[in-house]
Amino acid sequence: MQTKPIVGVSADRTLIGAHPSHVAGEKYLTAVVDGAQALAVVLPALGYRQLATDIIGAIDGLLFTGSYSNVEPHRYNGPPSEAGTLHDAARDATTLPLLRAAVDAGVPVLAICRGFQEMNVVFGGTLHQNVHTVHGYDDHRESKDDDLDTQYGPSHLLQVVNGGLLSRLASDAQTVHVNSLHAQGIERLGEGLTVEARAPDGLIEAVSVTRARAFALGVQWHPEWKFAADPLSRAIFRAFGDACCERMRIRTGTGVADASFVNP
Task: Give the DSSP letter string of 166-210.
Answer: HHHHTTT-SEEEE----S-EEEEPPTTEEEEEE-TTS-EEEEEET
- How many whole angstroms separate alpha carbon 66 and alpha carbon 117? 9
Q: Percentage of the chain with pLDDT > 70?
A: 96
Q: From the candidates 205, 224, 244, 245, give the one annotated as an active-site residue.
A: 224
pTM for the complete prediction?
A: 0.95
Just give the CATH number of 6-252. 3.40.50.880
The answer to whether 167 and 160 are in contact (CB under 8 A) is: yes
Q: Is 113 a known active-site residue?
A: yes
Q: From the candidates 222, 244, 245, 246, give the one annotated as an active-site residue.
A: 222
Domain limits of the chain?
6-252
Q: From the candidates 113, 118, 142, 245, give the one annotated as an active-site residue.
A: 113
Q: Torsions phi, psi of 16, nearest 5?
A: -115, 105
- The whole-number pLDDT of residue 244 equals 98
- How many whole angstroms separate alpha carbon 95 and alpha carbon 12? 10
pLDDT at 96 over 60: yes
- How many whole angstroms separate alpha carbon 47 and alpha carbon 34? 29
Q: Percentage of the chain with pLDDT > 90?
A: 93
pLDDT in tens, 149-206: 999 999 999 999 999 999 999 999 999 999 999 999 999 999 999 999 999 999 999 9
| Rg, Å, the chain Cα set | 17
pLDDT in tens, 213-244: 999 999 999 999 999 999 999 999 999 999 99
The b-or-e profile of 106-131 (16+ CB within 10 A means b, else e) is bbbbbbbbbbbbbbbbbbebbbbbbb
- The whole-number pLDDT of residue 2 equals 87
The answer to whether 95 and 116 are in contact (CB under 8 A) is: no
- How many whole angstroms separate alpha carbon 44 and alpha carbon 145? 30
